[in-house]
Amino acid sequence: MMAAKRLPDWIESLPELRGRVQPNAALAPFTWFRAGGAAELLVRPADADDLAALLRALPHQVPVQVIGACSNLIVRDGGLSGVTIRLARGFSAITIEAGGITAGAAALDVTVAEHAAAAGLTGVEFLSGIPGSIGGAVAMNAGAYGGDLASVLDWAEILTRTGEQRRLPAQQLAFDYRHAALPAGAVVTRVHLRAIPGAATLIAARMAEIKATRQATQPVRARTGGSTFRNPDGMKAWELIDAAGCRGLTRGGAMVSDKHCNFLINTGTATAADIEGLGEEVRRRVLAATGVTLEWEIRRIGIPGGRPEMVPPDMVPPGVVPPGVVPPGVVPPGVKS
C-alpha cells in the first residue's frame, strides 16, 4: 500500500480550528465558472475568532487567498498554493440597526438588499443587481445600477495578516473605480452600510426593475463570472468588444456571450485557461481594432495549468480580422501606398 502523502510542516503546525480544514480541496465547485484547480489548504473558519487564530499562527511566508461567493473570479488550473480562506456561514449575519444595516462579509449582496427592503430602508437597492458577497464588494468597490459600495459604506472591520482586528472608516479605504485601498493581506469580516427609511412600494419597484433589467441583458443562468473588463473612462467595455467583432467568439469550452459581450461563459467543458485565454484574445482584438486596452475586472488567481493561447484562426467569426493580419486594400502604418 502506498504511504499517505505527508502534509507540509506549516500545515501540521497550525492550531486546531473549529472550522473546516481541507487539504487539496477542489475549488471549481465554488466558482461561478465551475472551472479551475485545487487549494493546497482550504480553511472555512467558524467565525472571526477562528480566523484570527489561523492568521496569528500562519507563517508569513505562506501565501493567503480569500474567496467568498467566487462570482467574479477565475481560479487558474494549477490551483492555489498556501492557504485559501473561504468565509461562509459564520460571517453571514445581517442586522438592521439605527442608520443602516450591519452585514458579515459572506452575506450575499442581494440578501443584504432584501433585508434592507423588508425593513423599509432605501439606499442599497443597487446591491440586488450585483452577484457576490459583501466582503468582495468592499474589496473591489462593486457597483451597478447607479450605486457603489463607496457611496454607502460607513466602516469595514478587518483582520490583518497578523490576526489583529481593526475597524476602518470608509475614508481610509480611498475608494476608486473598482478598487479599495485595504491593507495588504487584510480580510474584511463585517461592514456597516448607510440606509434610510423609504417607501416600501418604491423600494420594491426599484429592485424589480433591476432584476428585470439584469435578466433581460445578462446571461444570468450561464456559468459566467460577471463583467469581465472594467469600463474605460467615458466608454463601455461591451461596446468596444462588440466593435472588435468578438461577440460569440470561442476558445475550447469558453465563449463570449451573445447576450452581453462583456461576459465570458463556460459552455460546459471550459478550463480556466480557456476562459482566461479567451479574455486575453478579446483584449488583443479590442486593442487592435480600437486602440483601447481593456483592464480585467474579474480577479484571476493561482498557478496557470498551461499558457493561454490565442484563438485559432478557424474559430474566428466571419468578417473578423485576426490581430496582425492586414485586410485587403488597407495600407499598414508606415508603409507608403
Is 297 a residue of the active site? yes
Angle subtended at Cα 301 by Cα 297 and Cα 307, rounded to the nearest 5 degrees: 100
Question: Which of these is catalytic: 44, 76, 86, 178?
Answer: 178
Is 284 a residue of the active site? no
33, 271 Cβ separation under 8 angstroms: no
Question: Which of these is catalytic: 40, 125, 157, 297?
Answer: 297
3-state secondary structure labels for all residues of 135-173 = HHHHHCCCEECCEEHHHCEEEEEEECCCCCEEEEEHHHH
225, 264 Cβ separation under 8 angstroms: yes
**Residue labelled with grid coordinates 468565509:** 87
Question: Which of these is catalytic: 125, 227, 276, 283?
Answer: 227
Q: What is the dihedral of CA 54, 60, 61, 66, to 10 degrees?
A: 50
Residue 259: closest CA among 310, 214, 299: 214
Active site residues: 178, 227, 297
